[in-house]
Structure 1
């Protein structure tokens, strides 16, 4: 009587074991493929055939989640950046099929990383990051959010917003460090550890550029200690060694700087980090110059120029070496070389200015402003949560008043600022033939090239009259092709024009805010300051101060006639 229940129990147990084993066997097919390459180094092309087996299986089974992972692995192990971009697009396509916004956000961020790390095309990288940010804003994947925050910080650091970048890096670093203290899978631990070291490295860069060498040196020393002789983090060790060398340069220990900087080169050549190599070569060149080894310095500066020619990578701290090269060849009487490097300096300035205008405007408008509003909203909710019941009736009355006021203001503002935009909403879109549309775009292009937008007070109807077209047609074309209403279009043209003048013509740095607003056709100084900050993310006075300090120009203000 006792044997029978035991027999049943044995049969049930064997059945369950077989069922679980069958499930594990089915699931492990992908794992068995991935296990063959999961510990291989990034950009190892010999792994790609194995990854293709993984991808083929996922395709045949229409397993989009596995296909997503397969394409991400292919992106990781393909050494050619152009192939990486193709796989990045495949990751995005598969993510769309899953209809999972968090996966799609992750896919766009990965494409941004290719643009940033492999191609150093910061404008294109930022575009992908901002799409990823919008898609993942309400997601729960904290690793993805902090990784994205890190990359937004990279863009801010690149355009010189070191204080803002430092805030992003500190937050990401705190998260990654916290995760490294947990008992998790080795692969996850590796990702968190790299996130911790990379954000630590970027914090050191920010502190250095902010002039806080003590904080930078402290971070670098910590990074070197933690990554020393660790084969998994050779690249990270090289980054800290590079920063240590730069700090030695600023401490006037030039020979030690050369030694440490040269020691960091190998691992970074292995991953083709040409951007960091440019920084290293420039500082080795400057250190050799201080030591008195001019010919060695020139050779290192030429390496930076070679990278600029190949990858169009340029940051403000590299441009001064062109002045050294120009003077060097002028002194030697080699005018052709001096002219060549003068032309390179012009190209470098153009690249820096173009990147600054695009990146500063977009990172402020699409990331900082929205993030600030979200944080303010959360702060207000948290602050009033405990007082909610006591002040409920008061808040209801207050909210009613506020909404009524806002409604009136918005109604007034919309009627004066963008009436033409409202006319085109819903079913009011006007059908414009292609020939007319192209004619309007041509006139707008001419209008922009001749800087006619700097005329004060020009209205939509006046411009339409000048173009001899309907103002409704002009309004619709501007909305659809410029992406903004007419008045916003005019503001962006004016601010873009004066920003470019401030970057490229030093005489404008001596103008007062009132003179600058007049120059670009904005009659109100306060509106000019407000719109300049809104578009560039920095006050015009601060912008002028920073630019003047960079060019070493005394700030002597004057008006224009």
Structure 2
């Protein structure tokens, strides 16, 4: 016992001496003890704490922030990462240096994105970082923020604008990578370059530009080569290669690459991309009549959704297969469970997409749009003749582009407002006029008409084409004047707009509750609602909702993760 006690004291003494010696070292010398370690290697943390303590004692805010950023990188425990990220922001704000503050918010956003896959708080942090980064000259920082906002757009299905983000980042990081040889900076640029390539690969795949996607996969793997410094990035490209082989129905090759990628994803706790690998492995097994093995992969996706409360939109069909399998096995308990889970997935995606789409527009796209407009307003055109003509044409094209983008953003905003009303059960839509509490008609007439009008709405009688107030009054056994007055008194609308509201509300409900309605042509939707002519339906939809039905259906398809089918819309 005495020997053990003596040994413990000796160990503490040696640690104290070692620590005091390190404290006398420079910041660079302290970081050399851990800077080449892999992310999440907690053996770095004792040195990180010494680094932080030294910076704190000297009130060296730049190194202090760097120390906390190192804490984020090397902590394996996710709550510890978030504590370090919060401390980074606190110290950065004390420094009053814009680039430090921007980096701190970006770091917290990355923790939310990578470790939690919580896009909403991640986006808030990114936009906060952008606010401070705009006041700096740090182009590396600005491009990192652009990259992460591109990731959010890709998640939402806004693939073309996301591609613009990633192409911009690739060009910047590739240039920096070729020009800067200092090891740490070169490594950071190369990592950012590879991540941008990976995200653009995903975007091209979703845009069905498979040749471009395949080319980027080869390029990414070539750039990494045999280096052990980019194991996670290599796994991402293996994952993409596996999916590409799956799409070509080369199932053995697909499984080979997916199996190479999965262990690295699991080791780094990248549960989001691991779930994608489970999805494609499950589909391969399902397509090759190995359903029990497929189901185990699909169940892993549900486990991730339950534990992490996250799922990619493309993985939604998993639940339909799980329900189908439970039906085949006559397992009512599992069938009910997966049905409830499918509803939970839909609710999660709808809520996430509604918030992020609105926030992206207000917090980023709107600012970019105003900056573009301002830049064009400051351009001074010179020259005569042909040069002037070209300048005018360029201006016209830019204005048209801005107007087109603005129109798209306005449609998205109107859609978000409409969906918010739907989610808050504020459908049916109402006019600004508040209906009277009591009708001016005799009580016995009101009582009869109340019952009959309620039955008319419940039985969807409003869908009858050619319906007029006279026809309905005759059906109710009353006169058209009484019916008109009653509807106006109780609904706040005259008969025709009342009918239009019922019909449009009906179609909105169907489009939200039954995906089959999203596949119907606008002409068919019009007749479903009770309109004889498509144009009348479109005009009524616009008047009530502020947008055309074709635009609403497009947004709804995008939200539902369905392929665009403009040709199906006549």
Tell me, yes or no, whether TM beats 0.5: yes
3-state DSSP of counterpart to 2:137: coil
**Residue in structure 2 matched with residue 59 of structure 1 by the alignment:** 56
User: Equivalent residues in 2 for 1:519-534 (5 A)?
Assistant: 523=543, 527-528=546-547
2:431 corresponds in structure 1 to 456
With over 3 angstroms needed to count, the CA separation of the structure-2 counterparts of 1:514 and 1:139, relative to structure 1, is farther
Quote the residue 2:347 is aligned against: 350
Task: Give the corresponding residue for 1:298.
Answer: 295
Distance 2:47 2:238 in 1: 35
**Cα distance, 1:185 vs. partner?**
1.1
Query: 2:422 & 2:206 partners in 1: Cα distance?
Result: 40
Report if aligned partners of 1:255, 1:291 keep a CA contact under 8 Å in 2. no
Per-residue deviation, 1:319: 0.8
CA–CA distance in structure 1, aligned partners of residues 330 and 564 of structure 2: 28
Q: Deviations over 1:92-122 (max 9, x none)?
A: 1111111122221111111100000000000
Cα displacement string for residues 269-299 of structure 1 (whole angstroms, at most 9, x for unaligned residues): 2211110000011001101111221111111
| 1:371 aligned residue | 368
Q: Distance in 2 between matches of 1:115 and 1:499?
A: 34
Secondary structure at the residue paired with 1:38? coil
Residues 365 and 27 of structure 1, relative CA distance in 2, 3 Å threshold: farther
Within the alignment, does 1:270 sit opposite 2:267 as a pair? yes
1:80-91 to 2 correspondence within 5 Å?
80-91=77-88
In structure 2, the partner of 1:125 is 122
One of 131, 135, 140 as aligned partner of 1:134: 131
**Structure 1 residues 185 and 290, CA gap change in structure 2 (3 angstroms):** same
Which segment drifts farther, 243-252 or 503-512? 503-512
Q: Which residue of 1 aligns with 2:193?
A: 196
Shift of residue 446, structure 1, vs aligned partner: 13
- 1:550 equivalent to 2:552? Answer no
| TM-score normalised according to structure 2 size | 0.70
CA distance in 1, matches of 2:516, 2:321: 24
Determine the C-alpha separation between the residues in 1 that align with 2:421 and 2:219.
57
2:179 maps to which residue? 182
> After superposition, what is the alpha-carbon deviation per residue over 1:157-202, rounded to whole angstroms, capped at 9, x for unaligned?
1111111111101100110011111133100000000011110011
Residue 160 of structure 2 is matched in structure 1 by 163
Between the two proteins, the alignment pairs up a number of residues equal to 437
Tell me what 1:535 maps to.
Answer: none
SS in 1 for 2:230: helix
Q: What are the superposed Cα offsets for residues 32-77 of structure 1, whole Å, 9 maximum, x if unpaired?
A: 1111111111111121111111111111112212111111111111
| Residue 48 (structure 1) aligns with | 45
Corresponding residue number in structure 2 for 1:280: 277
Q: 1:301 to 1:168 in 2, by over 3 A?
A: same
Tell me, in whole angstroms, the C-alpha distance in 2 between the residues paired with 1:455 and 1:518. Answer: 14
The Cα offsets for residues 417-439 of structure 1, whole Å up to 9 and x where unpaired, read as xxxxxxxxxxxxxxxxxxxxxxx
